Amino acid sequence: MTQRTVLDAADVSRAVTRIAHEIIESNKGSEDIVLLGIPRRGVPLAHRLAEAIAAIEGSPASAGELAGSLDITMYRDDLRGGSYRAPEPTSIPAAGIDAKTVVLVDDVLFSGRTIRAALDGLADLGRPSKVRLAVLVDRGHRDLPIRADHVGKNLPTSSSERVNVSLSEIDGTDAVTISGGRE
């Protein structure tokens, strides 16, 4: 199977920094932002974004005050199909999400179904003033009318290709690769 690297560690770092700047700009500052990562790789991305935002803004806020996680396992529409993943914890910063700008963070935006599930889960937790979406990679092929507000890399792919995101917190290295597809 062929595999090619489309983002290396430096590219991933630059993408996170760029997304952090975009979030600050669109929010006109970092006040009232909550970053919620979608497990698995959205969680470390949310924490990286929170650290970058705090550094850019010179804010004493820690990543833990800005970032949390939102498990969407029980909101997925493919549970009946036998696809199962053990639920992971949902952790919301102490200030909560009510009247905040919540930025959902995920590694790859593909069909949009994960984000639909995240919106359903978010509705059970509170009422944010705005919800935005930040993804490291947008690969297209949407099934639902969902788009990202902040994208690290738009990566047109064929439906037979697989986009693999590796993050040092989980995989020991940072990279985005594409495998499969045309041989």
pLDDT digits (tens, 9 = 90+) for 28-47: 999 999 999 999 999 999 99
pTM more than 0.85: yes
Q: Mean pLDDT in runs of 10 for the chain (183 residues)? A: 93 98 96 96 97 89 85 85 77 95 98 96 97 97 96 95 97 97 60
Transcribe the chain into DSSP letters: --EEEEE-HHHHHHHHHHHHHHHHHHHTSSTTEEEEEPTTTHHHHHHHHHHHHHHHHT----HHHHEEE---GGG-TTGGGT--------B--TT-STTSEEEEEEEEESSSHHHHHHHHHHHHH---SEEEEEEEEE----SSS---SEEEEE----TTEEEEEE-HHHHSS-EEEEEES--
What integer pLDDT is reported at residue 183 of this predicted model? 46
Domains of the chain plus CATH, in order, are 9-157 (3.40.50.2020)
